[in-house]
Amino acid sequence: MIPRYIVDFDLEKLPVVETDVIVIGAGIAGLFAAIKASKRNRVLMITKKSLFDSNTRYAQGGIAAVISDEDSPEFHRQDTLIAGAGLCDSDAVDVLVHEGPEGVQALIRYGTHFDEEDGQLALTKEGAHSQRRILHANGDATGFEIVRALADKVKSSSAIEIWDDHFALDLLTEDGVCHGAIVQKPDGSRVVVRGKATILCSGGTGQLYRYTTNPEVATGDGIAMAYRAGAIIRDMEFNQFHPTSLCYPGAPRFLISEAVRGEGAVLRNITGERFMEKYHEQLELAPRDVVARAILSEMEATKSTYVYIDITHESPELIRHRFPNIYEFCLNYGLDMTTDWIPVAPAAHYMMGGVRTDLHGETSISRLFACGEVSSTGVHGANRLASNSLSEAIVFGKRIVERIDAMGPPTGRLSSASVGPKRVGVPSGAIVERRLKLQKVMVRFAGLRRDAAGLNKGLEELRRQLPLFQTNLSKREELEFANLLTCALLVMEAALAREESRGAHYREDFPERDDLIWRKHTVLHREQGIGEEVISHV
């Protein structure tokens, strides 16, 4: 069993820092929530690297919101529900599609410069969207532009204190209420941070897999912390794999945005055949899980490790203007998008599951909130609609702060507590080797295609690592690995429990979707184990 705390500590011996609102993580969720909260509160932002190290920074395609007169919240709602494969909470989706446009205007007020055409916001289309509703910045650098603008505003606020290079170890709770967190400083010392509200904005779990579009910081820390604290974790079986990441010798798994297909790019196998018509009527703009599995099938059929994405039929001017960063990145490796087919393969990209929240971002633990990829709001269901995640972060970030501002101070106080000394020794074996082995287990048994035999074998291999939690963990790579191991076990257990195929979760031994039995959520709790949750609004 995963222990309550990842390290031993004695509260009476640790220094205490008091604030109003604690934000753990950065990205669009953390930055936006911090800005909103700073209007009435003292805010402490804790990042394990810096404000610029997050998944948001690497988001290329854009942010989805109803802007065009030809579009409507109802169209956006239907597209989201269809992509979510029956597991979306319709109330959460309604919140997203109706409040998203105001969130975009807030980003503009905070200094984000979205691309324009003829004096109007430029809009593009991505997979499974019926309308052009994707705003973008600097062509294909939307996330970087949003982070730039929000980070500038955060750094200029006297009400926001930033702790870079700090690692949040665990949440501190008592009687179902979160009072703050225990944090490890760059020098290895630890401090208790107390506040009236704590917001997890720590991102997803991309580093569970060997091939991912996520940065190195995406190690599932927030989900693991919340799980240890007793929060309900939901839908961990739904890992979205982006269909098209660069697959080329010597190059990292760089994201080739879905917007490239939105602008007309086609997929070809290594024989040059365009193949998506065999798999879905929407061709290259089918939902991501469909496209990713289609690519995997073509790779297996042609005994290749990649397929091609081809946009050479479009003008060089359009390609360079619309995708300047992707164009330049590929060119650095001798690949010219205007003349070459680009080799791509699926890679882990986004976690639809996470810490369960209500419509105001509050978790099952009072005064603990979750925002962004770490959360499970009910918006994404079994398969995230492209570019909805940035909208979700700003919409629910605003709602979280509204809830916090309506709260009074906590009625209780965190009593003195001591954990340890119980752990002895240090982890045996190189953590880098353990991490690589975990990633290989996840790719093999909990990747794009799964079955009971593989999932059981994967669980068996992961559980052999559990003695790690009985050792003294102090180095960041050790702590990150412990969090990855926690998340890996949750993914495996949830995937084994769901005996059907739905959205991003595909079981070869249960290939059909079963709405009669499985139109419900998978929930996990540290003490109560795994269970099910009926969808209240569909």
Strand segments, DSSP code E, in 5-82 are: 9-10, 16-18, 21-24, 43-46, 63-64
Please list, in sequence order, all residues whose beta carbon lies within 8 angstroms of the beta carbon of residue 109, skipping any fewer than 6 positions away.
Answer: none
Token look-up 């007169």 returns: 69
Cα–Cα distances (Å) from 202 to 23, 36, 96, 181, 471, in that order, read 9, 17, 20, 13, 25
**Gap between the Cα atoms of 378 and 235, Å rounded:** 10
Q: What would the two tokens of residue 16 be?
A: 């205490």
The b-or-e profile of 523-537 (16+ CB within 10 A means b, else e) is bbebeeeeeeeeeee
φ/ψ of residue 362, rounded to 5: -85, 140
Would you say 20 and 243 are in contact if contact means Cβ atoms under 8 Å apart?
no
Cα–Cα distances (Å) from 194 to 21, 65, 189, 197, 374, in that order, read 9, 36, 17, 8, 21
Residue 288 annotated in active site: yes
DSSP 329: H
Would you say 365 and 177 are in contact if contact means Cβ atoms under 8 Å apart?
yes
Q: One of 288, 367, 450, 507 is an active-site residue; which one?
A: 288
Q: Helix, strand or coil for residue 125? A: coil
Active site residues: 288
